[in-house]
Amino acid sequence: MASNGTWLFSSGGFEEFFGWKITRGVPYVNVGVVCAAKHPRNGKSDLRIMGFDVREVQLGDAVASVVFHITMAYTDSTLKTWSFSTGSPDSWMLVAQGLYLTSCLSSVHILKPALAEGMTLMTSTDGHLALWSRDPADTSELRWTARHQVHQNAILSTALYTLPDSSVLLITGGDDDALVFTRITSPQSASATSKTLTIPRAHAAAITGVLCRSTAGQGVQEVVTLGLDQTVEVWEVRLRNEAEVWMDWKYRGRGRGGRVLLTLGICFG
């Protein structure tokens, strides 16, 4: 959704991608939603847009137009960045694109604050995450600069959180039933490094949903996971300091003896 809350985007199969205009103060219903823009490739292939992320590159008010850069992850292992202006719904322009390997991409996150070259984090069904940036020699080409395996096979769900020291914490759930926490330091530079903690058998089946939310406690995040085992679990992440980020995971679920509480600790130094 746009920062001013007036645009919402959605994607699906057959390269479907829609822009929805949100109007507030509509009589009786308060909020009105109308499909105001369609991607030019809508319905023209059997590719699915598996995920996308949006960055506003030209801000505007409720009346003036806004320009968005929308990065999309496709099933054919391609990553594409499109430019879209709300002032002219037909003005879609391909800004940059790149090819990963052969596996289906599963999600994409534009790292913030985004640099001019558009540093992007991507996950795939081969169990890897990859950092992407614009090729300095050809800004219309996206290329992956670092690759790190975090799951045995497909990554199905992701959540991204920026730590106080500006490193990035990527939380992923996979087909391997594992919940993985990956801390990426210096993600905006060529010297980016990754450290991973894997919690095997976090669910009894594939983890299809991950949500990260703040709590009232200082330095405490809650991670909610959803699996094909039809259970919802809550994990607490505690950030103890900026130099060494400690985290405690508290698992809440139902066992034969009632509720189960398990606390784990790890330090990413």
> What are the tens digits of pLDDT across the range 33-72?
999 889 999 989 999 999 999 988 866 554 567 889 999 9
**Which candidate, 158, 251, 264, 149, places its Cα nearest to that of 211?**
158
pLDDT for 262 equals 42
Domain 1-149 in CATH: superfamily?
A: YVTN repeat-like/Quinoprotein amine dehydrogenase (2.130.10.10)
Backbone region of residue 44 per phi and psi (left: phi > 0; alpha: psi in -120 to 50; beta: other values): alpha
**Which candidate, 116, 121, 122, places its Cα nearest to that of 135?**
116
* Range from 33-42, 78-87, 207-216, 255-264 carrying the lowest mean pLDDT: 255-264
pLDDT over 70 (residue 130): yes
Domain boundaries defined on the chain: 1-149, 155-269
Return the number of other C-beta atoms located less than 10 Å from residue 98's C-beta: 20
Residues 6+ positions from 268 with CB-CB distance below 8 Å: 183, 195, 197, 244, 245, 247
Output the six-digit token pair for 70. Answer: 């929308």
* Range from 136-140, 168-172, 238-242 carrying the lowest mean pLDDT: 238-242
